[in-house]
């Protein structure tokens, strides 16, 4: 299944990385994945599987959490990037939208968006145009542009975080749970934006998502992580057809979608053991 990804030299390749927090907690136990140029790749997996950790390892934000990559390599655009600073990466076009929003609470929404353009050198005009673009995507933000981000609602903050990343005109976006806390309508919209950017501007996406259903609808390729290991990967459409995935991630058992009222009492999980 991996062959296809290897044919075109991947834009981003993660080779067998291990991540340790605090020198003692081993979280990733050899994760490899590759993201082709112009692709949308989804990382799926349960809570604590290590999705966020993987993304942070790529964008080099681990150090700030006292974590480190102890093994393996990460190659972006032909160069090893473990030793680069996150800002170098952003300059090279790879930006991360962090899980849990992380807006700058004391800055207004508009200032928050403007920080996204920090690394840009293409003049005020272009930045202003992009600002308009973000506001067009998220009209709600335009209404709240002068509010301090700390006081806005959870969903507004999430939009702000995504808009902020868009402001840097990235070529690659690492999206960590973009749908979290957003109204269903907006979730659709966000994924529309993703696919738009992807097709029109060739932006590459790597996204960690709990909403498997929608993620697999838009992604081209998917990886499933369980406790720090990749247990399965494949074309999105293949994954959608997979029995296990259907049962555990899409909730479609043999007899179609179950109501949440009817799920079994305390069923044991099935784990893929790698």
Partner 1 sequence: MLYREAGDFKTTYREDNQTFPIKSERYLFWGAMLIAFCVVPFFVNSYWEKSVLVPLLVWSLVALGLNILTGYCGQVSLGTGAFMAVGAFACYKLMTAFPGMSIFFVVILSGGVTALVGMLFGLPSLRIKGFYLAVATLAAQFFLIWVFNKFAWFYNYSASGQITAPERTVFGIIVTGPNAAPWATYLFCLTFLFIFAWLARNLTRGRIGRSWMAIRDMDIAAEIIGVEPLRAKLSAFAMSSFFIGVGGALFFSVYLGAAEVTEAFGIDKSFLALFMVIIGGLGSILGSFLGAAFLVLMPVFLKNLFVGSLGWPTDVAAHIQIMLIGGLIIFFLIVEPHGLAQLWRLTKEKLRLWPFPY
Partner 2 sequence: MNVHMREDMSLHSMRADDGIAKGEELLKVDNISLSFGGVKAITDISFDIRKGEIRAIIGPNGAGKTSMLNVINGFYYPQEGTITFRGKRRRRVRPHETAREGIARTFQNIALFKGMSTLDNIMTGRITLQKRNMFWHGLWTGPAEREEIEHREAVERIIDFLEIEHIRKTPVGRLPYGLQKRVELGRALAAEPALLLLDEPMAGMNLEEKEDMSRFILDVNQQYGTTIALIEHDMGVVMDLSDRVVVLDYGKKIGDGTPDEVRNNQDVIDAYLGVPHEEA
Partner 3 sequence: MSPAILNFIETCLNGLMAGVMYSLVALGFVLIFKASGIFNFAQGVMALFAALTLVGFQTGQVPFSHLINAIFGTDIHHWGGGMPTILAIVLAMGVMVLLAFLLERFVLKYLVNQEPIILFMATIGLAYFLEGLGDLMWGADIKRMDVGLPSGGSFWWEDLTRAWAPADADYYGMYIDTLDVSAAIIAAILVTGLTLFSQYTATGRALRAVADDHQAALSVGISLRRIWVIVWSLAGFVALVAGILWGAKSGVQFSLSLIALKALPVLILGGFTSIPGAIVGGLIIGVGEKLAEAYVGPLVGGAIENWFAYMLALAFLLFRPQGLYGEKIIERI
- Minimum CB–partner distance for residue 26 and partner 3 (Å): 21
State which of residues 1, 2, 9, 25 lies at the interface with partner 1 (CB under 8 A). 25
Nearer to partner 3, 56 or 240 (CB): 56
Listed ranges 90-98, 110-118, 139-147, 196-204: which one lies at the site for partner 2 (CB under 8 A): 139-147
52 interacts with Mg ion by CB under 5 A: yes
Local structure of residue 148 (DSSP, 8 states): B
Tally of CB atoms within 10 A around 254: 7
Q: 66 with 22: CB under 8 angstroms? A: yes
- Minimum CB–partner distance for residue 151 and partner 3 (Å): 6
**Nearest 5°: phi and psi at 144?**
-100, 20
Find the angle CA(226)-CA(64)-CA(231) to the nearest 5 degrees. 10
Burial 195-209 (b: 16+ CB within 10 A, else e): eebbeeeebbbbbbb
153 interacts with partner 2 by CB under 8 A: yes
47 interacts with ligand ATP by CB under 6 A: yes
Residues engaged in binding partner 3 (CB under 8 A): 59-61, 63-65, 85-87, 89-91, 95-98, 102-107, 111-112, 114-119, 148, 150-151, 164-165, 168
Q: Do β-strands 94-97 and 172-176 pair in parallel, antiparallel, or remain unpaired? A: parallel
Listed ranges 6-14, 112-120, 147-155, 261-269: which one lies at the site for Mg ion (CB under 5 A): 147-155
3 interacts with ligand ATP by CB under 6 A: no
**Nearest CA among 197, 239, 234, 242 for reference residue 93:** 197
Q: 137 with 173: CB under 8 angstroms? A: no
Nearer to Mg ion, 144 or 169 (CB): 144
**Nearest CA among 46, 205, 173, 81 for reference residue 69:** 81
Listed ranges 4-12, 104-112, 147-155, 191-199: which one lies at the site for partner 2 (CB under 8 A): 147-155
Tally of CB atoms within 10 A around 255: 6
- Minimum CB–partner distance for residue 125 and ligand ATP (Å): 30
Where along the sequence are the contacts to ligand ATP (CB under 6 A)? 21-22, 25, 27, 45, 47-53, 65, 99, 144, 147, 151-156, 181, 210
């Amino acid at each position: 299944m991996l062959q296809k990804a290897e044919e075109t030299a991947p834009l981003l390749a993660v080779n067998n990385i291990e991540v340790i927090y605090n020198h003692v907690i081993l979280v990733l136990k050899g994760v490899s994945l590759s993201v082709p140029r112009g692709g949308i790749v989804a990382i799926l997996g349960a809570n604590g599987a290590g999705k966020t950790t993987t993304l942070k390892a790529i964008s080099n934000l681990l150090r700030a959490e006292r974590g480190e990559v102890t093994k393996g390599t990460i190659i972006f655009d032909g160069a090893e990037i473990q030793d680069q600073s996150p800002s170098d990466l952003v300059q090279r076009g790879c930006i991360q939208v962090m899980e849990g929003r992380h807006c700058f609470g004391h800055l207004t929404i508009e200032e928050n968006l403007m920080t996204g353009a920090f690394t840009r050198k293409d003049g005020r005009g272009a930045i202003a145009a992009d600002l308009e673009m973000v506001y067009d995507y998220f009209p709600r933000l335009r209404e709240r542009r002068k509010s301090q981000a700390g006081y806005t609602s959870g969903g507004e903050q999430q939009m702000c975080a995504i808009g902020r990343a868009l402001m840097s005109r990235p070529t690659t976006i690492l999206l960590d749970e973009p749908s979290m806390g957003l109204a269903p309508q907006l979730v659709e919209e966000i994924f529309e934006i993703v696919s738009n950017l992807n097709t029109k501007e060739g932006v590459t996406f790597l996204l960690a998502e709990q909403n498997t259903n929608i993620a697999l609808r838009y992604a081209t390729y998917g990886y499933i992580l369980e406790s720090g290991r990749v247990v399965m990967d494949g074309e999105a459409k293949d994954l959608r057809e997979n029995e296990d995935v259907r049962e555990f991630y899409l909730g479609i058992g043999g007899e179609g979608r179950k109501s949440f009222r009817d799920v079994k009492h305390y069923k044991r999980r099935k784990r893929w053991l790698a």
